[in-house]
Amino acid sequence: MTPTPLIDAHVRLDVHPTHSSAVTATLTGTQARIAHMGLEAADWTVVADNVLALVRIDSEEPHWAQDAAKHLAAEGITVEITPRLQEAMDEEWTWATYPMPWCTRGEIREVSAEAQKIHDDIRHGQLLIHAHAHDGHTTVAVGTYLHRTGKSVYLHGENHLRQVADTFDSPAQALLAFEKVHGAEMRPGPAPLTDTERSAAEARTPLALTTAKAEPASPKPKIVPVYLADTGDHDTLLDEFLNTHGEFEKWRTWSDETTHAIHESQTLRIERVHETAARETAWTIAAYETPVSDRIWVLTATSATPAPVLQELLNHLADGWDTAITPVDEKTVTTATQPLTDAGWKHTVDGRWIRWTSPAADAGIRFDAFTAQHPTQNLATWTIWAGPTPDRPTWTITASPHTPSSLLSDLSETLAHDTGLRRSPTAGTGRRTSLVTSPPAIPAVTAGHAASRSH
């Protein structure tokens, strides 16, 4: 077999400096134009001299960058992948609330690829959107492909979930059908860009060469809202808590992978799982009426939860905890979230979901009214999150229906008013270590008799 001739071109693939999932390719060598043309043909965007970026709306850039690397290498081009990008390529993840849970990871990627093609066709002017509307759940639109045998299409969904739901032989036929269903909500032209689309567009703007080629300098610590603060050292946090609260006893499992902190009454138990991925459950806190009863309430926190938030949680537990079984009613919800309301967080109701979102839309609390009425189901009722979107959070805390409103109120107060320090690089330089795989499951909670605990 004749070996593939080497081409004098070097491609360095790295994470984008400002976009959480995008990838950059920096080209060098006398024949760099060959790699340049290949990447442009694969819809990479030129953002600087000999620098291209792969930016998508489905967060699949690492996967497709790896695919591009294989093709470039097969052509005889030297490809270098930075360790942080390789970590992203190796990562297994899926969407937190994917509407088609029966799909395999490969099938989800196929759906995303079709949605990406629709997005690119619109962006490149190949698909003209005539009108759009909101059907009460998501955005719908009608448009026509601008080629000789172009069909008109009915589009349903946004971002990585947008798909062609129907086709028509003419624009007139498509518009009439669309108006018949969505006449009251119908608006001319394309819908406003989603946050995801806007972020992608920004990532395609020209990039300074120094930013693309050089490792960014370590930023100085800055004061940020507490939910954006550094994760800190969770193990040290737990050790300090145990050292100052002798009523809790520390237990380690035989494998040393997990530490348990159990109150002397044996009615409050803290489980800390070490060495977990950023978005996997690292803390589980459970309260019991008696040492041998079922759980009254349970709360979980992922590994990337900021240290100041966990500190507030542990401080509350040190002051006492409540195990009273009371109905989860409007008063309970209001008490738990009043600090957010007072701080001007956006309050919305969408079916079973009640949400409070920060002014910058980078953190929030979600209450599930359905699971609140079914406390024995293995689902979270409260979800506290921070990150790019609720579906792709950087960290989450989940809580069962009977989690004390006083505890939730303290956490709300912390989110609304407290600050912390952030020393780690911004999104894109440090990049995610693991996208959320699913909302952390809440173990079943069995109702018991009213009880309370304080000390």
pLDDT in tens, 1-52: 444 557 899 999 999 988 888 999 999 999 999 999 999 999 999 999 999 9
> Distance between CA atoms of 397 and 419, rounded to whole angstroms?
18
At residue 220, φ and ψ (nearest 5 deg) are -70, 150
- Average pLDDT estimate for 171-198: 92
The predicted pLDDT at position 426 comes to 38
Average pLDDT rounded to a whole number, residues 300-323: 87
Q: How confident is the model at residue 397 (pLDDT cuts 50, 70, 90)?
A: very high
**Domains along the sequence of the chain with CATH:** 10-90 (3.30.780), 105-193 (no CATH), 223-454 (no CATH)
| β pairing state of 10-15 and 78-81 | parallel
pLDDT at residue number 326: 65
What is the structure's pLDDT at 82?
Answer: 94
Mean pLDDT for 299-309 is: 94
Bigger pLDDT: 186 vs 423? 186
Confidence of residue 363 (pLDDT cuts 50, 70, 90): very high
Mean pLDDT of 183-202: 90
Evaluate if pTM is beyond 0.75.
Answer: no
What the block records as the tokens of 390 is: 């609720």
User: Which pLDDT does position 362 carry in this prediction?
Assistant: 94
Indicate the average pLDDT of the chain.
84
- pLDDT tens for 85-116 read 998 888 877 777 788 888 888 899 999 999 99
209-228 per-residue burial string, b: 16 or more CB within 10 A, e: under 16: eebbbeeeeeeeeeeebbbb
Q: Look up residue 425 and give its amino acid.
A: P
The counts of H helices and E strands in the chain are 12, 24
Point out the least confidently predicted range of 1-5, 103-107, 288-292, 398-402. 1-5
pLDDT digits (tens, 9 = 90+) for 313-355: 999 988 776 655 666 788 889 999 999 999 999 999 988 899 9
DSSP for 398-441 reads EE-TTS-HHHHHHHHHHHHH-EEEE-SPPTTTS--S----SPPP
Question: What per-residue confidence (pLDDT) applies to 80?
Answer: 94
Mean pLDDT confidence for 258-262: 89
Mean pLDDT along residues 386-396? 90
